[in-house]
Chains A and B, each alone.
Chain A
């Protein structure tokens, strides 16, 4: 990587935020370099949205410090807002304005030079020129997301924050959406994107997993899977339902999940896991056959979530 490419776009430490007695974000550190696409993962209510809102100045942190695009997140929110594109979870353009009017509004709010040209080019790039006078509210979910994305990068931000941008969007539209994000990142834009989808996590350069307000894993997908040290056995054939019931709770088995006609059995110790599965197959006289499988990101996340829940209960004296 060149020197420019390694410059830190987001650099925060000890970020903390409480709503009432509930600590939603607790001591979160985050480093994002220029041109990176970082996936921000975690279960619902884990503090993803809150963290993103603190980065772009929509919420004031209770504690912690850091910079975003070189500006202090505590004192320079106004400067940050100028150079950040933010796409909210919910479609937040105006349903009762047309596509062109929405883009025009955003262009005016950011006081863009060559406003008309910018709006026209944006419509062109989106392929919405012919439908520019259609009300934004009548667009399908996928088109709404594409329009919102186009609107949030029109002022050429240096950082793009996407909060679950593809919730409720069909696979085809999601793929196109991600292609666009990669194009933008290739042009030097830095992207922090929160998501629930594992396939989307795999399209990120790096992922950060947050649960109950704590960062519990970070790195590339391969690194996160490797760091979990989980092993997987796939059982195919036999009565999967009865097998699953028999497998649960056995030594070395943490997760049993049916995938079609197969069972994914996951545990931290490969040898113990295989032994337990073989035992169960023998005991039940099942026709199922076991083979070593690949641990998926989802398996890792479920484990991380369970561990975090246990830690959270211990730390807070009860479930959050």
Chain B
């Protein structure tokens, strides 16, 4: 009871009650407290799968003999591979792998059937897109077993006597783009996009809310400055800062991790500016919605969480269920990570990347429209 007590439960109680009242008034924070755990549970529990199945594969083959059919059927029924019906040429296969439309090329040499029948152990060439070693590892590990069984069944027929004790084919596995399966080659380009997402969105999300909180926005709005001028003026500096971050990360990627740079630096810069532009505009949109800096930070976090989990940065994109892939396709980070990995590891050019570039541009345009619509000329 004594007001002079060194430790007062009543005083602590007063502070606790005040905190709860303030928390209840801040609806956005309150919603985040409830929504974020659910979001995390759903994403981690349902969306993430480190053993992706149904990876797109194409077949390169000159003929369509029974042995080839048996191997293809076995690959498909293993569920690791989603085999595209029909055959493609080697050139087509290469384009499909570079653009990411196919993760595997299974190539049968012209005399596969004949050599197999003669017991000559013909080559069976498997090209895997190994940019993400984790995504391709399980499927590659399962290959010898799948092929062996398929051909064992096949050789059990009239050619049974010719079944060799070892694998009847010479299984050549070619890990393209990252032959040694170095994880850093996959992570570092992904990290580039992740770091940019966090910093650029946060910085711009705070830019306008800070002015609002400090009361400088009213002054700014009383000047002749137009919403478009204010938006451009606030966004461009952060695009510059993002570019500096890119330079730092790229130098580190090269010096510390020896990540190769197979493609065009100019193209990488171009895609990066597109990506940063989309992000800072999104951040600006957040700052037109959030009333306080605290809310702006929460909105940034809310965006960041699905971005790192569903973009293919941490976990294989193809391992995710369809609904998660749909969300992932909307996120700019997904397309940026694919572009950076494509340029740095595969040496991709604009033709292979067009499928990633237009979604970035479309996203940018969409959020810029929302931002301008949201920004009010008046204080109403």
- 10 nearest A-B residue pairs (beta carbon): A92-B219, A90-B215, A86-B222, A109-B223, A81-B224, A92-B216, A82-B224, A92-B215, A58-B379, A88-B218
Q: Is A184 an interface residue (CB 8 A)?
A: no
Q: Mark A61-84, 1 if CB is under 8 A from B, else 0.
A: 000000000000000011001101
Contact between chains at A60 and B378 (CB < 8 Å) = yes
A59 contacts B by Cβ under 8 Å: yes
B380 located at the interface, meaning its Cβ lies under 8 Å from any Cβ of chain A in the complex: yes
CA of A112 to CA of B220, assembled, Å: 16
Q: Is the CB of A60 within 8 A of B224?
A: no
Contacting residues, chain B, for A56 (C-beta < 8 A): 222
B220 CB contacts on chain A under 8 angstroms = 109
- A-contact 0/1 string along B200-219, CB 8 Å cutoff: 00000000000000111011
Choose from B214, B218, B378 the contact partner of A95 (Cβ within 8 Å).
B214
* Supplied contacts A78-B224, A88-B222, A95-B214, 9 more A-B pairs, CB within 8 Å: A57-B377, A59-B379, A60-B378, A88-B219, A92-B219, A93-B219, A94-B214, A109-B224, A110-B223
Q: A81 is contacted by which of B216, B222, B379 (Cβ under 8 Å)? A: B222
- Distance between Cα atoms of A106 and B220 in the complex (Å): 9
CB contacts (< 8 Å) of B378 on chain A: these are: 57-60, 77
Min CB–CB distance A281 → chain B (angstroms): 44
**Alpha-carbon separation in the docked complex, A93 to B215 (Å):** 8
What 0/1 pattern do residues 7 to 19 of A give for CB contact below 8 A with B? 0000000000000
- Give the contacting residue for A84; candidates B215, B221, B222, B225; CB below 8 A: B222
- Number of residues on chain A facing chain B (CB within 8 A): 23
Residues in B lying within 8 Å of A, measured CB to CB = 214-216, 218-226, 377-380
Q: How far is the CA of A119 from the CA of B84 in the complex (A)?
A: 70
Q: Is A53's beta carbon under 8 Å from chain B?
A: yes
How many angstroms between the C-alpha atoms of A95 and B215 in the bound complex?
11
Our pick among B215, B221, B222, B225 for the contact of A91 (Cβ within 8 Å) is: B215
B221:A58 contact, CB within 8 angstroms: yes
Question: Nearest A residue to B223 by beta-carbon distance?
Answer: A109
Residues of B within 8 A of A88 (CB): 215, 218-219, 222
**Inside 8 A of A78's CB, which chain B residues have their CB?**
224, 226
State the Cβ distance, B328 to closest chain A Cβ, in Å: 39
Report the nearest B residue to A88, measured CB to CB. B218
CB neighbours (8 Å) of A111 from chain B are: 224
Min C-beta distance of A94 to chain B, whole Å: 6
18 A-B contact pairs sorted by A residue (CB < 8 Å): A56-B222, A57-B222, A58-B222, A59-B378, A59-B379, A60-B378, A60-B380, A78-B226, A81-B224, A82-B224, A86-B222, A88-B215, A92-B214, A92-B218, A93-B219, A94-B214, A95-B214, A110-B223
A82 (CB) vs chain B CBs: closest residue: B224
* Proximity string of chain A (134-152) to chain B, C-beta cutoff 8 Å, 1 when within and 0 when not: 0000000000000000000
Taken together as a complex, chains A and B put the C-alpha atoms of A266 and B92 apart, in Å, by 99
The CA-CA distance from A86 to B221 in the complex, in Å, is: 10
**Quick check: B219 and A81 within 8 Å, CB to CB?**
no
Residue of B whose beta carbon sits closest to that of A89:
B215
CA A60 to CA B377, docked complex, whole Å: 10
| Chain A residues whose C-beta falls within 8 Å of the C-beta of B225 in the assembled complex | 109
Q: How far is the CA of A110 from the CA of B220 in the complex (A)?
A: 11
B230 nearest CB across to chain A (Å): 10
Residue ID in chain A nearest B216 by CB atoms: A92
B312 CB → nearest A CB, Å: 40
B222 / chain A contacts, CB cutoff of 8 Å:
56-58, 81, 84, 86, 88
B contact residues around A94 at 8 Å (CB) = 214, 216
Which of B215, B219, B378, B380 has the most chain A CB atoms inside 10 A of its CB? B219
What separation, in Å, do the CA atoms of A241 and B380 have in the docked complex? 48
B224 touches A86 (CB 8 A): no
User: Is B215's CB under 8 angstroms from A59's CB?
Assistant: no
What residues of chain A lie closer than 8 Å to B218, measured between beta carbons?
58, 88, 90, 92
Closest chain A residue, CB of each to CB of B377: A77
Beta-carbon nearest neighbor of A85 in chain B: B222
- The docked-state distance in angstroms from the alpha carbon of A309 to that of B130 is 78
The minimal Cβ–Cβ distance linking B39 to chain A, given in whole angstroms, is 33
Alpha-carbon distance between A255 and B225 when the two chains are bound, in angstroms: 49
B-chain residues with CB within 8 Å of residue A106 when the two chains form the complex: 223
Q: Is A110's CB under 8 angstroms from B216's CB? A: no
A183 to B220 CA separation, bound complex (whole angstroms): 26
Name which residue of chain A comes closest to B219, CB basis. A92
For residue A92, which residue of chain B has the nearest CB? B219
- A60: which B residues are within 8 A, CB to CB? 378, 380
Query: With A and B bound together, what is the CA distance between A78 and B223 in angstroms?
Result: 9
Complex contact B216–A59 (CB within 8 A): no
Q: Give CA–CA (A115, B270) in the complex, Å.
A: 36
Among residues of B, the one whose C-beta sits closest to the C-beta of A58 is: B379
State how many angstroms separate the Cβ of B220 from the closest Cβ of chain A.
8
Q: Which of B216, B377, B379 contacts A93 (CB 8 A)?
A: B216
Name the distance in Å between B34's Cβ and chain A's nearest Cβ: 28
Task: Tell me, rounded to whole Å, the shortest Cβ–Cβ distance linking A6 to chain B.
Answer: 27
**CA of A88 to CA of B219 in the docked complex: distance in angstroms?**
7
